[in-house]
Each structure stands twice: as structure tokens, then as C-alpha cells.
Amino acid sequence: MAAKLKTGDKVMVLAGKDKGKTGEITSVDPKAGKAVVDGVNIAIRHEKQSQASQGGRTPKPAPIQLSNLAIVDKNGKPTRVGFKMDGDKKVRFAKTTGDVI
């Protein structure tokens, strides 16, 4: 099945501790059904000191389930994604407005 959410999409979190927050997708793992979103689902990682870094507690975004994300349309509201044929190309479109993404 084609991926409905892709890297660079602006999305909103629908469920979980970060519900209502928006961010941009930095990476997608379609096999696991997860994506990493900037500023959402932040986890604290403890790093050992090395020559490159001082170490300590560093915040890193953790993956979030794709089913808990919805793409944000031009009005700033979450919407579902559909597919349609535009000539001979398959394109994604917002279900609420019908605009091509």
C-alpha cells in the first residue's frame, strides 16, 4: 500500500501525551508503521561523555505510530489523506478540502 504520510509533511498528533501538537515528519518507517516528528514524543537519552560530546541527558524525538498522526491542510486543521488519478499520475489529496497535497 502507498504511504499516506511522507517525510516533510506537516502533521498533527491525534492521540497520546502530545495530542494537539504539530510538527514536521523527519523520517518514516513504513514497515514498522512509525514516524519521527520534530518536537513531538521527546524522550530523554543518557549519553556517555566522549571527545565529541560532553555527554549528559539529551532530548531526542522518539518514533510515534502513524495511526496517531494526521496531515495538516492549508487551514491548519487535521485531515485524512486520499489518492486519486490526476491525468496519468497518482496524487495525494486532502479529504476535507479536496486539494492536492
pLDDT, tens digit, for every residue of 80-97?
A: 999 999 899 999 999 998
Three-state SS at 14: coil
- Residue 38 is predicted with a pLDDT of 94
Give 36-78 pLDDT, tens digit per residue.
Answer: 999 999 999 999 999 998 999 999 999 999 999 999 998 889 9
- Pair 75, 90: CB distance under 8 Å: no
User: Domains in the chain and their CATH numbers?
Assistant: 10-49+56-75 (2.30.30.30)
Q: Write down the pLDDT at residue 101.
A: 85
The larger pLDDT score, comparing residue 1 to residue 32, is at: 32
